[in-house]
Structure 1
Amino acid sequence: MNTTLRTVSVALAAALISPSVLAASASVPGIDFHGYMRAGVGVSGDGSLAEWQKNKIGRLGNESDTYGELELGSEVYKKDDVSFYLDSMVSMVSDGSNDNETTLNDDAQFGLRQLNLQIKGLIPGDPNAVIWGGKRYYQRHDLHIIDTKYWNISGSGAGDRKL
């Protein structure tokens, strides 16, 4: 009975915290905000953390770790048709071994996923062209059900979009 109650509680909490809330994008004047978060709870009979077939089909709900991303961006300069947009993203991953996700004892790790500057309107013949430089976290084509990215061109560099 206790296990059933725990399962129902977890299912109810998951339903209340829907993907539309966790992967939502909000609009604050001047700052673009995007976020993503997933957390899993796996507990064995003796109370220790448990995972089952992580990165396999049906993995959702079988993970005991937590992962989140926070992206902030803003247009930092605009004159005539030229604009500069600064984009950033930090991430956090935790094995869930403590109740307070800290950097002590390797419980949580924080990373800089992206930090780049995007310049639009600099090329006179193509006002929609965007020149960028820095670190980007994008074009991550994956199979969601097994959390495997089969194409990922993220990294540091420079380039153009919409040319």
Structure 2
Amino acid sequence: MRMKHIAAALLALAPAFPAAALDIDQYLRAHAGVNSASGGQTCFGLAGAEAKYRLGNECGVYGELLLGQRLLDSADGQVKGYAMLNLGNRAASSNAARPQGGWDVGLPQAYVAIENMSSLGGATLWAGRRYYKRESMHLTDFMYWNPSGLGGGIENVRVGGLQVSYAFLHDDRETMPNMQVGDTASRHDFQLRGWQVNPGGSLELGLTLIHGNGGEQRHGGSMITVQHRQKNVFGAGDNRLVLQWGTGAGADNGATGDTANGSDVHRLRIMDGWQAQVTPRFGGELLLLWQRDTAHDPAKEKTWASAGGRMSYGVTDHVKLLADIGHDRVAPKHGDARRLTKFTGAVALSSGRRYFDRPELRLFFTHARWNAAARAAAASGDPLSAGGIFGTAFRGSTVGLAFENNW
């Protein structure tokens, strides 16, 4: 049965669940606009950068609906089933190689969990397909730590004051589109969280071990993640300082990357992200990132650096001013460095004046500038390419409306 038929069937069955036992979590964003070259809304991203600054820079429509159903209560925990449907038009896809037009319906999560097991100190056993312990930076939506997939495991086992988790996952082209047809990989994910190392600060450690199952030309790999989470930095907000080191197929974001990568392929990532509601009216985020890829093949070597931030100021209880600026630089082993700078200013009608208050309806203006190297590296049809909507120009703008909500 095709994925969209499964998703449609689950959506049709949702009203049949007892309302008192059904947990619902929803997200929706929608964008529409025009650009300075007399076309529709355009989004700006740099080739080789794994994320883009998203305010006024997300195209199309995307939504998620997560349903959680209590199936059984017992003395040793609660059995729950989860299913997530997502829907997006292809303008919302981050994959520039995909044909535009049409809609995609998916089932990114479908799993069963035994939660709050008293015999395991409140731990959870789970099996299925799920978003597993994802970590992202909101202003770029960059999933820098994302070991999601199909498998099972045990999470949040208390050992002293720590929480220990283990998951075994199976990857193939269905779960990891960058894998070749017929290739599979086995992935072990170990995590330790809650290690209090200073007042308000804790360490979180992750280890991913991957075994490639696609023959002599396919390889495994590993990734180590060290994250320090600090509360109340300068009296307001939270900070995450991240160090990641990956090799081979582990040179990704905690998931299985390219299994054609041998042990010569390495990735080092250092990132710092801060977010805060500084006053009842003023909030914001800041991001600094540096990532270095090395390999025997010069085509796989590059350095990606990114810096940016977003601010929000509540003029009234329901009107906010927003501003976002970000700069990305990608330097390949051979060739000139690519650069993209993007700025967005917006006025928003919101349910509240705080940074994360939603729903929010925004009127935005986005302007981007890039260099010749960025244009040369852009995929055919990309807005930055010579064959794109802006032609041989090195700048472009969009004006539009955006709606975002989560329930």
TM over 0.5: yes
Identical amino acids, percent of aligned pairs: 31
Gaps of 5+ in 2: 1-18, 46-50, 93-99, 158-407
CA distance in 2, matches of 1:63, 1:118: 33
Distance in 1 (alpha carbons) for counterparts of 2:152 and 2:52: 35
Alignment partner of 1:63 out of 51, 58, 61: 58
State the match for 2:69 in structure 1: 74
User: For 1:60-83, what per-residue CA distance to the aligned partner results, in whole angstroms no more than 9, with x for missing partners?
Assistant: 123331111100001101133332
Partners of 1:44 and 1:38 lie apart in 2 by: 19
CA distance in 2, matches of 1:61, 1:43: 12
Q: Distance in 2 between matches of 1:123 and 1:62?
A: 46
CA distance in 2, matches of 1:161, 1:64: 35
User: Counterpart in 1 of 2:141?
Assistant: 147
Q: TM-score, normalised by structure 2?
A: 0.29
Shift of 1:52: 3.2
For the 8 Å contact 1:49–1:64, the answer to whether it is kept is no
Alignment RMSD (CA, Å)? 2.5
Corresponding residue of 1:158 = 152
Report the alpha carbon displacement of residue 123 of structure 1 after superposing the two structures with TM: 6.7
CA shift, 1:112, in A, is 0.5
After superposition, residues 99-118 of structure 1 pair within 5 angstroms as 106-118=101-113
Q: Which has the higher helix share?
A: 1
Which amino acid in structure 2 is aligned with residue 49 of structure 1?
Answer: G
Contact 1:93 1:110 in 2 (8 A): yes
Alignment of 1:42-61 (within 5 A): 42-44=33-35, 48-54=39-45, 55-57=51-53, 59-61=54-56
Distance 2:77 2:141 in 1: 38
Structure 1: any 5+ residue segments left out of the alignment? 1-27, 98-104
CA deviations on 1:36-69 (whole Å, 9 max, x unpaired) are: 1111112236764221324433x31233311111
Partner of 1:16: none
Equivalent residue, structure 1, for 2:122: 128
| Cα distance in 2, alignment partners of residues 77 and 51 from structure 1 | 48
Matches of 1:75 and 1:153, distance apart in 2: 25
1:40 aligns with 2:36: no
Deviation at 1:92, TM superposition (A): 0.9
Distance 2:59 2:115 in 1: 42
Contact 2:91/2:101 (<8 A) preserved = no
In 2, distance between residues paired with 1:133 and 1:82?
Answer: 15
TM-score normalised by length of structure 1: 0.66
Rounded to whole Å, the distance in 1 between the matches of 2:62 and 2:25 is 14
Cα deviations across residues 7-60 of structure 1 (Å, max 9, x unaligned)? xxxxxxxxxxxxxxxxxxxxx411000011111112236764221324433x31
